[in-house]
Amino acid sequence: MQWTDEGIVLGVKRHGETSSILELMTREHGRHLGLVRGGAGRMLRPVLQAGNLVNAVWRARLDQHLGQFVIEGLNLRVGAMLTQSHAVYGVTHLAALCRLLPERDPHPAIVPMVEAILDHMSDVAIVGALTAQFELHLLTELGFGLELDCCALTGAREELIYVSPKSGRAVSRTAGEPWRDRLLRLPPFLTEEDAADPSMRDIADGFALTGYFLLRRVLEPRGAGFAEARDSFIATLIARAPTE
């Protein structure tokens, strides 16, 4: 068995004296693990950093085996991010999100979305919006997508500014007014392709929305919760944002 694919490094664990177990989020083969000979060595250690893009050749005698990776670095972006605290937290959070996907289950849209987030890591507003959008998309990939195209109560498609925490469906301004304190706010950037640059309040509301449903529908049924990296990522984004 053999295939070649590009992937983003999610993490690495030392294996024996010189080797490592590498975890990649690949374009066509999903989240995949494999052994890297010499992965703990001086030459490969900088390549196998979470967030880097690599080319991977995977080989195994049988498909169900762990297999071995031969790795070549393509975009070693992580070194330039180490001075930005939000970037360190962000890379850790993105890896944790990818680990919610089943191993070896193809999700072709995931790598391009993560790549876009990593490429915009220096801009706190853009990276915040892209990450919240990614969390919303991940709910769909996991089978828990929200219904945000029309009002759950009236069927209206305009002024959808709330989401029901029970149904995960959008609610319009008029229909939701009596229950606005019980509803989650739906910021425009999560649903409108041409939405104006979101404010940091919009981004915080976006994370509150996606975080609520990731926790209730994905993490809590697995007996898990968010890692500290998510809260730290959001907090450092807000702290670095220009005063509005």
CATH number at residue 45: 2.40.50.140
Considering the domain architecture, whether residues 107 and 66 belong to the same structural domain is answered as no
**What proportion of the chain, given as a percentage, has pLDDT over 70?**
98
Q: CB neighbours of 242 closer than 8 A, spacing ≥ 6?
A: none
Q: Are 51 and 116 part of one and the same domain? A: no
Residue 194 has pLDDT above 80, yes or no: no
Q: How many CB atoms lie within 10 A of CB 125?
A: 19
- Report the pLDDT averaged over residues 18-36: 97
Q: Which domain holds residue 11?
A: 2-76
The pTM of this model reads 0.94
Q: Are residues 139 and 28 in the same domain?
A: no
pLDDT exceeds cutoff 80 at 178: yes
Q: Is residue 97 domain-shared with residue 19, that is, in the same domain?
A: no
Residue 178 lies in a domain: no
Shared domain for 91 and 46, answered yes or no, is: no
Residues 115 and 230 placed together within one structural domain of the fold: yes
The pLDDT-based confidence of 80 (bands split at 50, 70, 90) is: confident
Task: Confirm if 156 and 169 have CB atoms less than 8 A apart.
Answer: no
Residue 179 in domain: no
- pLDDT tens track for 204-241: 999 999 999 999 999 999 999 999 999 999 999 998 87
**Do the bridges between strand 53-59 and strand 68-75 make them parallel or antiparallel, or are there none, so unpaired?**
antiparallel
pLDDT higher than 70, residue 196 = no
Question: CA-to-CA distance for 205 and 213, rounded, in angstroms?
Answer: 13
Q: What is the pLDDT of residue 242?
A: 73
What the block records as the tokens of 24 is 């990649």
pLDDT score, position 82: 79
Does the pLDDT of residue 244 top 70, yes or no? no
Position 195 scores a pLDDT of 59
> Residue range 160-171: average pLDDT?
98
**pLDDT band, residue 74 (cuts 50/70/90):** very high
Q: Specify the pLDDT at position 240.
A: 83
User: Considering the chain, what is the average pLDDT of its residues?
Assistant: 94
Number of structural domains (the chain) is: 2
Region 84-103: mean pLDDT is 95
For residue 171, the model assigns a pLDDT of: 98
Q: How far apart are CA 198 and CA 190, in angstroms?
A: 10
Instruction: Indicate whether 64 and 95 sit together in one domain.
Output: no
Range in 39-48, 106-115, 190-199 the model is least confident about: 190-199
User: Residues near 184 by Cβ (< 8 Å), separated by ≥ 6?
Assistant: 162, 163, 164, 165, 205, 208, 209, 212
